Amino acid sequence: MSNGRAVNGFLLDITGVLYNSIYKSDGVAIAKSAEAVDFLYKHSNVKFLSNAKGNSNRNVARRLQRLGINIREEDVITPAPVVAQYCRENKLRPHLFVREDVLQYFDGIDTSSPNCVVMGEVEEGFSFERINRAFRVLIDMPKPLLITMGNGKFFQRVDGPCIDVGAFAAALKFSTNCEVLNIGKPSRFYFEQGINALGMKPEEIVMVGDDLMSDVGGAQACGMRGIQVRTGKWRPDFEKLPVTPDLTADCLYDAVKLIADNGFRL
C-alpha cells in the first residue's frame, strides 16, 4: 500500500461513522471522529453522504455540532432535498410519508391527486394508519411508484438494530406491486450527488461507511473506493458477504490517519 492511488476527497457516512444513534436523543460521538473531521477539513476535501431521512440538513449538522463534531450544514447531503428536486424535475405529485422536519423541502410541490408516494418514515412517526394511507394511494394507481429515502434492511441504534425503511418498501411492493425507486445509498443517482458536490472524479474519492453493501459496495459500483469501519452497524459476519472493502479500519480516525500517513494515497 506504500504506493496506491491518490485520494483527493472523502465522502463520509454520518450515522455509525461519526456518531451512534440513541432513540429520542442526540446520540453519542464515536471516539475521535471529531478529530478526523477537523483533519479532513484542513488537509483534504470532505462531504457527508447520509441516508438520514428524519431531519433537515440543518438539524443533522446541528446535532453533530452539539456532539462536538464540526460539520457544516452545506456539506451535508441527505435524501429528502434530493427527492424533492427529483419530484420537481419529473412533475411528480407526491403523497408524503415523511418526517415533519423534512416537509420544508417539498414546499411549493403540488401534492394533490398524488402520482407517487415518498417514504422516509420509521420510528415514532410510523403507524399502521400512515403506512395504510400510503398503501391506499399506491393501490389506486395504474402504475404505482414508490420513492424511498434509502432502502436499508436495518439501522443501528445504541439499544440495538432497528428495522429500516427498505423493509416497508418491500411491504408496499408485496401488496401493491409498485415500482420502488430508491433515492439514497446505494443508488448511483444518489452517490452522484456526493461525487458532484466534491467536484472530482469518482476514482479520486473514498467513501467511508459502516454498511458494507450500501456504503462500500455502492461506492465501488460507482468507481469510488469503499472503506469499511468497524463501528455502527458493522458486524463480524460482514466478512461472509460478497463485497470486499478497499480498506477496513476500526474507526474513521484510523482510516483517515492511515491514508494521510500514506501521503493521501490508497
Q: What phi and psi values does residue 181 have, to the nearest 5 degrees?
A: -110, 115
Amino acid residing at 201: K
Residues 143-182 that bind a copy of itself (CB under 8 A): 153-154, 160-164, 166-176
Please say whether the dihedral angle defined by the alpha carbons of residues 92, 111, 155 and 174, taken in this order, is positive or negative.
Answer: negative
191 pairs with which residues across the strands? none
Is residue 258 close enough to count as binding a copy of itself by CB under 8 A?
no
The CA–CA distances, whole Å, from 144 to 27, 148, 175, 209 equal 37, 13, 11, 32
Tell me, by CB under 8 A, how many residues bind a copy of itself: 29
Whichever of 168 and 253 has its CB closer to a copy of itself, that residue is: 168
The CA–CA distances, whole Å, from 205 to 46, 123, 246 equal 9, 33, 12
The nearest distance, CB 23 to a copy of itself, in angstroms, is 10
The nearest distance, CB 105 to a copy of itself, in angstroms, is 23
The nearest distance, CB 140 to a copy of itself, in angstroms, is 9
The nearest distance, CB 134 to a copy of itself, in angstroms, is 8
Task: Say which DSSP state 21 is in.
Answer: B
Whichever of 68 and 161 has its CB closer to a copy of itself, that residue is: 161
Is residue 139 close enough to count as binding a copy of itself by CB under 8 A?
yes
From 221, 186, 189, 222, select the one nearest 51 (Cα to Cα): 186
The nearest distance, CB 206 to a copy of itself, in angstroms, is 28
The nearest distance, CB 175 to a copy of itself, in angstroms, is 4
Is residue 243 close enough to count as binding a copy of itself by CB under 8 A?
no
Residues 51-90 that bind a copy of itself (CB under 8 A): none
Whichever of 139 and 200 has its CB closer to a copy of itself, that residue is: 139
126's grid cell:
410510523
55's grid cell:
431531519
From 186, 164, 184, 169, select the one nearest 134 (Cα to Cα): 169
Which residues would be at the binding site for a copy of itself (CB under 8 A)?
A: 122-124, 126-128, 131-132, 135-136, 139, 153-154, 160-164, 166-176
